[in-house]
Structure 1
Amino acid sequence: MSVEQKVAVLGAGSWGTALAALLAGKGYRVEVWARRQELASTINAERQNRRYLPGVILPPNVRAQVDLPAVLENACAVVFAVPSHAFREVLRAALPCIPKGAMIVNVAKGIEEGSLLPLSRVFAGEAGEEELGRYAVLSGPSHAEEVGRGIPTAVVVASTSMTCAEAAQDLFMTAAFRVYTNPDVAGVELGGALKNIIALGTGIAEGLGFGDNTKAALMTRGLAEITRLGMALGANPLTFAGLAGVGDLIVTCTSMHSRNRRAGIEIGRGKKLEEALASVQMVVEGVRTTRAARLLAARCGVEMPITEQIYRVLFEGMPPREAVANLMTRGRRREMEEVALAAGLWRPERGR
């Protein structure tokens, strides 16, 4: 792809805006699709997205509009930066207008709640299995607020086609935005989605006044849960040791840029879920993902105690302190058994 070519970014939130700035900085003509004319007009007039990414000045080769077919016309690549619960709707509307052969990169991090499908499977269902060769997913520890400011960041892009993965790598790579490739689409998608649940939990712990010990425990045992469910769904366990796994988990659980962490803090301080979400004022993907992951875990027979307790706090009104007590007083465990057993690296008959 030549930098004179056009890239369409669907979604004018913080992440879509940051990636639009990055791509425009490389010389691409970038057209951003926004749902609301007011937002599109403000972006074009003020050269920044004050609503979702204030302070990041957009180059003149970024233009926002609400006409989806016009945004997609002649695009060499299409970046889906809409929330996961809107992905199917926007994909269905966009597919007839996406140029033949254009690469499609999804940057949302979530699981479709109704179908419990990762977004690559939503794409395959709408576009056809044969189109997966031009579909990639980009994930990793990458807050929009920092990417938009050019702070060094490393991410991973996954596709069933290495040609597509490398094309996406070339599309996004800059001196401040390093992109690795990975063939494990399932692992990259699930790592990016499930870490939001754990970030809610670490936020709740912080809101309760607990310290670093508690957060470290939640992150470490949360990674074990993510890996167990991921492996049950066909992911490579090594993916969760990389950028889309532990990397994204660390940044989402520790940064105040994290919407999930901020929402969790408010819940830990006593706010109801609706109040916490209103205080964040942007989509908190971990809430829907908690419901979906709990159902997936039950379907796969995978134990996810942290996810279960967070579900009860979010949707059943359990006091957060009671949820923490439930986790701390569970039956005795050996640390490595659960993941090692799932990976086939440990067998009960070899002894405990």
Structure 2
Amino acid sequence: MTMKIAFIGFGGVGQSLAKIMKERQENLNTVNGLDFSIVAVADMRLGAVYHPDGLNLDLLFEGISEHATVETYPEDHQTVKGWSSLETIRHSNADVIVEVTFTDVKTGEPAISHCRTAFAHGKSVVTTNKGPVALAYEELVQLAEDQGVFFGFEGTVMSGTPALRMPETTLAGNQITEIKGILNGTTNYMITEMEKGLSYNEALEKAQKLGYAEADPTSDVEGYDARYKVSILSSHVMRSPIPPYEVECEGISGLNLEKIKDAWKDGEKYRLIARVEKSSGSVKASVKPERIPMDDPLAGVTGATNAIVYECDLAGSIMLTGAGAGLTETGYSLLIDLIHYHKQRTPTKI
């Protein structure tokens, strides 16, 4: 059964996924049984095109490369152009919506509306947008369940590193009592550079030059990005929803070279630690700089790398490290969800 896909948003992440799927189409079919057709693209900047029988990706990328639009795509009597994102979701024949729009993480929009609309029309969603999952987890999960559709958001915490899939599948059967990790690569890179002797401002400037930090780095350096990820982990892994604004949050803007050196003298390192703890039936969450011993596994995580540790009652302490950003990695996180969606909807052969 061919999976029909509509992209809502087709920037760097969406295009990365499309390229991965195009390059590995034969392997995905042979190994994973995944036969797919991309039937629609709707993007605020690039325009929109839909064809019920599927779009030719070479022609699609040619239009983007040469004209910065998808609306130069060749037409026949079934081609539709100019639909809005919501019209594409409602009226296309897509089974699954790849939701990768530019979304305001504070409101979750427009991604939350895209998810609600898709579920209302019996369509599954995979997304890398943190906002909908952090702000409307219970509502959206319930809507998807009520409609019997799939809701995938693996890429919202550590991009292509399966921080959500691992506890759900590989660590199934454990009671997870604590989750802690380094969930923002920008701040970890900056702290690592400060350990080499750079000042806070010098480390930030270097991170911006390398593209790790935005021109306005507030979301990273004040801990807001990690706070949304903690909220998702609490909801999905601990089954205890905590709104982002209830997560204790302190960034690294108060760190300086003197504090870094003082920690080193005491055999410790600073790391921006995101933490979710379950105790006596209650769950607490925080994001803040912490001094940790040199022999703590998280102390060895340097540069823009992310890491997460699950404290399990049966398996013990399990640590997962990997890239927490990057177009290819984030595109791959969507592919993880699409493969699991395919498995979910394909009857098991006995």
TM-score greater than 0.5 by the shorter chain: no
TM-score scaled to structure 1, two decimals? Answer: 0.43
User: Whose helix proportion is higher, 1 or 2?
Assistant: 1
User: Whose strand proportion is higher, 1 or 2?
Assistant: 2
Flag the structure with larger Rg.
2
Greater RCO structure (CA 8 Å; 6+ sep): 2
